[in-house]
């Protein structure tokens, strides 16, 4: 039997296992440093005793990482412009229905903001009149955090669609 060949194979396997362990250790070390935010856009309509309320866009921001994140604002973004829509955002989940930034998000926590179809349509219509936005601009959601991190979510909507749909 060739013991040198068996020793060489053992050394190679040992080196490979050591390299894999080092890679896993580096990934685990960096994991707490990485911020993970999930942004979703859905439609919502509140139900009251008197019936259904108006239609809303619901933007949910969730911390899916393992470190706290401080969200400084939620914007709508077109091309290179960020549309500040805080004055038409509502926090329907909150007892006071007031929305304030910054908001600290602990791991596995989320918050939602609501924008009525009608209010967003009116704001974008005014932006079109002032030529701040173009009809065919695509709308994205931009969430900013305290470390100048910017997190985007494509919505698949254009300014024209929102203006037409919101009436």
Query: 28 with 52, same domain?
Result: no
Q: Which residues contact 120 (CB under 8 A, 6 or more apart)?
A: 57, 76, 85, 88, 162, 166
How confident is the model at residue 52, as a pLDDT?
65
Query: 58 with 97, same domain?
Result: yes
Q: Which residues sit opposite 135 in a β-bridge?
A: none
Query: 72 with 126, same domain?
Result: yes
Distance of CA 4 to the CA centre of its chain: 57
Query: 46 with 107, same domain?
Result: yes
Domain count, the chain: 2
Rounded Cα gap, residues 104 and 72, in angstroms: 9
Query: 65 with 133, same domain?
Result: yes
Query: 54 with 28, same domain?
Result: no
Query: 15 with 72, same domain?
Result: no
Query: 40 with 119, same domain?
Result: yes
Is the peptide bond between 129 and the residue preceding it cis, with omega within 30 degrees of 0? no
Query: In this structure, what CATH number is given to the domain that contains residue 145?
Result: 2.60.40
The range of the structural domain enclosing residue 1 comes to 1-33
Query: 14 with 90, same domain?
Result: no
Query: 131 with 58, same domain?
Result: yes
Rounded Cα gap, residues 48 and 29, in angstroms: 48
How confident is the model at residue 14, as a pLDDT?
93
Confidence of residue 49 (pLDDT cuts 50, 70, 90): low
pLDDT tens-digit map of 52-110: 678 889 999 999 988 899 999 999 998 878 888 888 888 877 666 677 889 899 999 99
Query: 59 with 95, same domain?
Result: yes
pLDDT tens-digit map of 98-121: 778 898 999 999 999 999 889 999
How confident is the model at residue 82, as a pLDDT?
86
Who wins on pLDDT, 56 or 49?
Answer: 56
Is residue 138 within 8 Å of residue 76, measured between CB atoms?
no
Query: 134 with 86, same domain?
Result: yes
pTM higher than 0.95: no
Q: What is the token pair recorded at 92?
A: 């329907």
Which of 57, 78, 160, 166 has its CA nearest to residue 122?
166
Is residue 120 within 8 Å of residue 85, measured between CB atoms?
yes
């Amino acid at each position: 039997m060739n013991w040198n060949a068996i020793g060489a194979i053992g050394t190679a396997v040992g080196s490979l296992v050591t390299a894999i362990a080092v890679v896993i250790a580096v990934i685990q070390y960096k994991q707490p440093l990485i911020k993970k935010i999930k942004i979703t856009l859905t439609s919502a309509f509140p139900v009251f005793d008197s019936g259904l309320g108006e239609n809303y866009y619901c933007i949910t921001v969730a911390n899916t990482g393992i470190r706290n994140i401080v969200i400084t604002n939620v914007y709508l973004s077109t091309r290179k412009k960020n549309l500040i829509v805080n004055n038409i955002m509502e926090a329907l989940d909150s007892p006071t229905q007031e929305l304030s930034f910054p908001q600290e998000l602990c791991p596995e926590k989320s918050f939602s903001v609501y924008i009525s179809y009608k209010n967003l349509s009116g704001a974008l219509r005014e932006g079109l009149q002032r030529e701040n936005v173009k009809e065919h601009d695509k709308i994205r959601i931009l969430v900013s955090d305290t470390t100048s991190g910017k997190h985007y979510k494509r919505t698949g909507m254009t300014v024209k669609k929102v203006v037409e749909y919101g009436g």
